[in-house]
Amino acid sequence: MIKGRCLCGEVSFSVDGPLGRSAACHCSQCRKQSGHYWASSSAEESDIAITGQVKWYEASADAKRGFCPNCGSFLFWKAHDEDAVSFSLGALDEPTGVKLECHIFVADKGDYYVIDDDLPQSEMS
């Protein structure tokens, strides 16, 4: 069972089920909301139990982004046409048991850093 929480603790979550890919997303939306690129994994919505009130921001026609309304921690991303919910790896209790697997949306990455590990990169998702 994986557990995580926001900075203040008003929102916490646990994941009981198989995880999707763990990815660092370099898209401009993730960078603006997180402050840098966003590391997340995902699970089926039915496998994620959330405690507390998440504020959802409709960032685009395709997806919404969830954060704690008290401390602002960016915790979740969900595409409207998928059952999976992505969650922040930075919010997880350690040991997480998770390793980053890839970089995505690198075509949209910021100009202020280089990606200097050997993980696979994709231009888009």
Q: Give residues in contact with Zn ion (CB under 5 A).
A: 6, 8, 10, 68, 70-71
Q: How far is the CB of 8 from Zn ion (least distance, A)?
A: 3
Task: Please give the Cα distance from 52 to 110 (Å, whole number).
Answer: 33
Report the residue number, 7 or 79, with the smaller CB distance to Zn ion: 7
Report angle CA 75, 87, 27 to the nearest 5 degrees.
85
Task: Please give the Cα distance from 46 to 52 (Å, whole number).
Answer: 16
Q: How far is the CB of 73 from Zn ion (least distance, A)?
A: 5
Report the residue number, 7 or 100, with the smaller CB distance to Zn ion: 7
Q: How far is the CB of 121 from Zn ion (least distance, A)?
A: 32
